[in-house]
């Protein structure tokens, strides 16, 4: 019965694993809902700020802010938002693949790249590939907060201001629904023009203290809010992906248990048959 015992212990170990994956699935599901709520909560701010920038561009301020001017690109800045932990299916792989494609394209155009890594997974990869990492932030947790991101974003903004980088993009996961997420590359700087033409009349704001200072503050907050939204959305994606991955892991464990149970039953039956035939054979010999 040695084989049967081995199989039995295997079954119980798979059952234990299944318990863990089931628990992780449920935790991820509830965290995903909360992350989605935070994603929604962040929307009005981004919309309002975008509208204000749209007005600003349209209202023709008396000077051009560097964040709004296109210039020839020598170095590309990339902010990539990944998760800190694994066990979330192909989420990080797809994201990092998209990032690497963007990097290769930039290099093909003869541009250098500078990476800003948010999340350990991105940090690990670019560290291994030996790309220059300008700034990083990890362990944001399930509730990323703006103060955690301000410094990281500022490094890139300063680099843009000083001309170290000429274009800044954000690579992040987009939450389509709980079953599908997509990696996306979005341009942060220079700020792309948003829906002009809504405002027909020409008017200008009264700026206090000056257009330059206000625009600077607003554009900086705009970029920060985009990165913040990316981080929050990333948490929602992570949880959704983990939920799906853990669900299929639990299902696979269930299938494995069934198979092992069958093997176990066969082994047990074989042992019984063998014993019986031995008894019968023994009786016949006597």
Partner 1 sequence: MANTIHVDIVSAEGQIYAGDASMVFAPAVEGEIGIAPRHAPLLTNLKPGEVRVQAPGEAEELSFFIGGGALEVQPHQVTVLADTAVRAHDLDEAAALEARRRAQDAMQERTDKIELAEAQAELVRAAAQLRAIERLRKKR
Please give the positions annotated as active site. Answer: 88
Least distance CB 179 / partner 1 (angstroms): 25
- In the complex with partner 1, the residue whose CB is nearer, 193 or 217, is 217
Least distance CB 118 / partner 1 (angstroms): 10
How many whole angstroms separate alpha carbon 237 and alpha carbon 93? 13
Token pair of 21 as six digits: 């994956």
- In the complex with partner 1, the residue whose CB is nearer, 123 or 169, is 123
Least distance CB 180 / partner 1 (angstroms): 25
- In the complex with partner 1, the residue whose CB is nearer, 172 or 221, is 221
In DSSP terms, 117 is beta-bridged to 80, 136
Any idea what DSSP says for residue 74?
S
Least distance CB 256 / partner 1 (angstroms): 11
Least distance CB 201 / partner 1 (angstroms): 11
- In the complex with partner 1, the residue whose CB is nearer, 85 or 182, is 85
Taking phi over 0 as left and psi of -120 to 50 as alpha, with beta for the rest, 19 belongs to alpha
First to last CA, the chain: 26
Token pair of 149 as six digits: 């991101």
* DSSP class per residue in 161-187: HTTS-SEEEEEEEEEEETTEEEEEEEE
Helices 211-285 and 2-58: angle between axes, nearest 10 degrees: 170
Task: Give the H/E segment covering residue 76.
Answer: strand 75-81
Calculate the alpha carbon distances from 143 to 53, 86, 209 in Å.
27, 17, 35
- In the complex with partner 1, the residue whose CB is nearer, 75 or 124, is 124
How many whole angstroms separate alpha carbon 257 and alpha carbon 18? 10
**Which residues lie near partner 1 (CB under 8 A)?**
38, 41-42, 44-46, 48-49, 52, 55-56, 86, 116-117, 120, 123-124, 127, 133-138, 145-147, 150-152, 154-155, 158, 203-209, 211, 213-214, 217-218, 221, 224-225, 228
């Amino acid at each position: 019965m040695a084989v049967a015992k081995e199989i039995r212990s295997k079954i119980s170990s798979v059952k234990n694993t299944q318990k863990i994956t089931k628990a992780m699935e449920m935790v991820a599901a509830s965290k995903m809902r909360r992350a989605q709520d935070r994603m929604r909560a962040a929307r009005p701010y981004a919309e309002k700020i975008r509208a204000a920038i749209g007005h600003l561009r349209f209202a023709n301020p008396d000077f051009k802010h560097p964040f709004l001017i296109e210039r020839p690109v020598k170095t590309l800045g990339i902010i990539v938002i990944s998760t800190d932990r694994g066990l979330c299916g192909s989420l990080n792989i797809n994201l990092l693949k998209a990032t690497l494609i963007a990097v290769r394209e930039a290099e093909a155009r003869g541009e250098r790249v500078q990476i800003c890594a948010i999340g350990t997974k991105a940090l690990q990869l670019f560290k291994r590939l030996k790309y220059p990492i300008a700034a990083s932030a990890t362990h944001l947790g399930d509730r990323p907060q703006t103060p955690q991101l301000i410094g990281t974003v500022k490094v890139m903004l300063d680099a843009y201001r000083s001309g170290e980088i000429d274009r800044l993009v954000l690579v992040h996961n987009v939450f389509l629904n709980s079953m599908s997420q997509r990696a996306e590359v979005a341009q942060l700087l220079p700020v792309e023009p948003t829906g002009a033409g809504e405002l027909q009349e020409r008017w200008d704001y009264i700026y206090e203290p000056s257009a330059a200072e206000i625009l600077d503050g607003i554009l900086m907050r705009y970029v920060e809010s985009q990165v913040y939204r990316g981080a929050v959305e990333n948490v929602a994606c992570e949880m959704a992906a983990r939920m799906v991955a853990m669900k299929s892991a639990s299902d696979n464990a269930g299938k494995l248990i069934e198979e092992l149970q069958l093997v176990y039953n066969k082994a047990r039956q074989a042992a019984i048959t063998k014993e019986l035939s031995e008894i019968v054979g023994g009786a016949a010999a006597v």
